[in-house]
């Protein structure tokens, strides 16, 4: 695949990065995923939030701050825009005040994308959306068996809702892992969570995931074993297709304050980058990054980090998709 065949970010002598329309990484905005290998999009859904909603504005803010991204990964040398056809297709449809209708629209959006052969790189929105993307990938034919999950997050998202702490919609930003396992979308034995922390509702709050075989790396364990051991554990689980989901609250709130439920004591950007770069080469079928709440960090620092992590993720996804399509 040659440079002039694929979309390139608008950066160069005639495209100042501070100027122009804010698209994801300054790629062209196209009306549909048709013809794309990787479809960048937003999912402005935050109706699954308990504490501080507002992540519906995340995609807009991430687009604006992705102006700072260039072309090539400095650590791995990966040049993703050379490997796959990639563009910004805009945002998934949502219907404010109707969680269920919005969820179905989002699932269908990703189902159509998957059916057309495009792989998603999505910016949330709250952390309900990986469940919806996985449902869509299954409906669209890309996810044909339970997928392994690589999840960066402060929270394990396995909240028990029956007899639990609320009586709202079970599909929310604290349940996607549990539901994904129950629905057969996620293979817990090939799944891993990094960065868990924060006080818990009870001693047994995460028993569901432990019992299901999920590997849960709490931050205090991470402090003992370090990022290289984590990379090894992920690679051990990455024997088949994997799905990568990043809750921005996996990072420390001093780095990413713009999120609904910050938990002090999180990962550093460098640790995140090191781990993601260590995953280059695995078979990722989709990526999301969630919980950027624009209003809670108007300075844009949270969104800037999010844009960087999306670029790191794209480097992995682009290679995986290129390999699936026989290009590398």
Q: Which of residues 225-284 bind its own copies (CB under 8 A)?
A: 252-255, 257, 261-266, 268-270, 273-274, 277
Position among 33, 48, 140, 148 found at the interface with its own copies (CB under 8 A): 48
Instruction: Give min distance, CB of 18 to its own copies, in A.
Output: 5
Alpha-carbon span 92 to 113, nearest angstrom: 11
Considering only residues 141 to 160 of the shown chain, the ones binding its own copies according to CB under 8 A are none
Candidates 66, 88, 45; CA nearest to 293 is 45
Nearer to its own copies among residue 117 and residue 278 (C-beta): 278
Peptide bond preceding 168: is omega within 30 degrees of 0, i.e. cis?
A: no
Task: Tell me the HSE value of 305 on the side-chain side, using a 13 A CA sphere.
Answer: 30
Position among 169, 246, 313, 317 found at the interface with its own copies (CB under 8 A): 169
Instruction: Give min distance, CB of 9 to its own copies, in A.
Output: 10
Position among 49, 118, 193, 313 found at the interface with its own copies (CB under 8 A): 49
**162 part of the interface to its own copies, by CB under 8 A:** no
**166 part of the interface to its own copies, by CB under 8 A:** yes
Nearer to its own copies among residue 136 and residue 266 (C-beta): 266
**223 part of the interface to its own copies, by CB under 8 A:** yes
Distance of CA 186 to the CA centre of its chain: 15
Instruction: Give min distance, CB of 240 to its own copies, in A.
Output: 28
Nearer to its own copies among residue 218 and residue 324 (C-beta): 218
Position among 34, 35, 72, 323 found at the interface with its own copies (CB under 8 A): 72
**16 part of the interface to its own copies, by CB under 8 A:** yes
Cβ-proximal residues to 191 (8 Å cutoff; 6+ apart), any chain: 148, 149, 150, 151, 177, 214, 215, 237
Q: Residue 8 has which token pair?
A: 């390139």
Pairing verdict, β 215-218 and 284-290: unpaired
Considering only residues 23 to 42 of the shown chain, the ones binding its own copies according to CB under 8 A are 23, 29, 42
CA distances 136 to 53, 72, 113, Å, are: 24, 30, 8
- What are φ and ψ of residue 140, in 5° steps? -85, -5
Choices 74-82, 130-138, 144-152, 183-191; region in contact with its own copies by CB under 8 A: 74-82
Query: How many other β-carbons are positioned within 10 Å of the β-carbon of residue 33?
Result: 24
Nearer to its own copies among residue 98 and residue 239 (C-beta): 98
**301 part of the interface to its own copies, by CB under 8 A:** yes
Burial zone of 202 (CB within 10 Å; 0-12 exposed, 13-18 middle, 19+ buried): exposed
- What are φ and ψ of residue 148, in 5° steps? -80, 140
Instruction: Give min distance, CB of 117 to its own copies, in A.
Output: 23
Task: Tell me the HSE value of 111 on the side-chain side, using a 13 A CA sphere.
Answer: 12
Distance of CA 246 to the CA centre of its chain: 4
**139 part of the interface to its own copies, by CB under 8 A:** no
**211 part of the interface to its own copies, by CB under 8 A:** no
Position among 35, 141, 145, 168 found at the interface with its own copies (CB under 8 A): 168
**90 part of the interface to its own copies, by CB under 8 A:** yes
Nearer to its own copies among residue 108 and residue 169 (C-beta): 169
């Amino acid at each position: 695949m040659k440079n002039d065949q694929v979309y390139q970010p608008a950066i160069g002598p005639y495209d100042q990065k501070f100027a122009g329309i804010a698209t994801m990484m300054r790629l062209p905005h196209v009306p549909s995923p048709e013809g794309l290998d990787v479809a960048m999009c937003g999912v402005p859904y935050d109706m699954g939030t308990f504490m501080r909603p507002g992540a519906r504005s995340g995609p807009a803010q991430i687009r604006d701050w992705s102006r700072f991204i260039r072309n090539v990964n400095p650590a791995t040398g990966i040049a993703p825009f050379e490997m796959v056809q990639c563009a910004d297709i805009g945002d998934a449809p949502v219907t404010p005040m109707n969680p269920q209708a919005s969820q179905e629209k989002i699932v269908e959006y990703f189902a159509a994308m998957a059916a057309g052969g495009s792989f998603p790189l999505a910016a949330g929105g709250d952390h309900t959306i990986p469940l919806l993307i996985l449902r869509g990938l299954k409906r669209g034919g890309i996810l044909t068996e339970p997928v392994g999950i690589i999840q960066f997050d402060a929270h394990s998202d396995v909240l028990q809702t029956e007899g639990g702490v609320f009586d709202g919609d079970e599909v929310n930003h604290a349940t996607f892992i549990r539901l994904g396992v129950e629905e057969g979308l996620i293979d817990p034995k090939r799944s891993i969570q990094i960065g868990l922390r924060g006080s818990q509702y009870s001693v047994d709050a995460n028993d569901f995931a432990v019992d299901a075989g999920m590997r849960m790396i709490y931050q205090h364990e991470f402090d003992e074993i370090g990022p290289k051991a984590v990379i090894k554990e992920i690679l051990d689980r990455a024997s088949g297709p994997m799905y990568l989901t990043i809750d921005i609250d996996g990072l420390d709130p001093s780095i990413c304050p713009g999120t609904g439920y910050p938990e002090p004591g999180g990962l550093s950007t460098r640790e995140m980058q090191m781990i993601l770069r260590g995953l280059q080469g695995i078979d990722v079928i989709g990526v999301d990054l969630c919980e950027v709440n624009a209003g809670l960090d108007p300075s844009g620092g949270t969104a800037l980090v999010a844009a960087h992590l999306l670029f790191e993720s794209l480097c992995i996804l682009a290679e995986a998709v290129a390999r699936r399509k026989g290009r590398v």
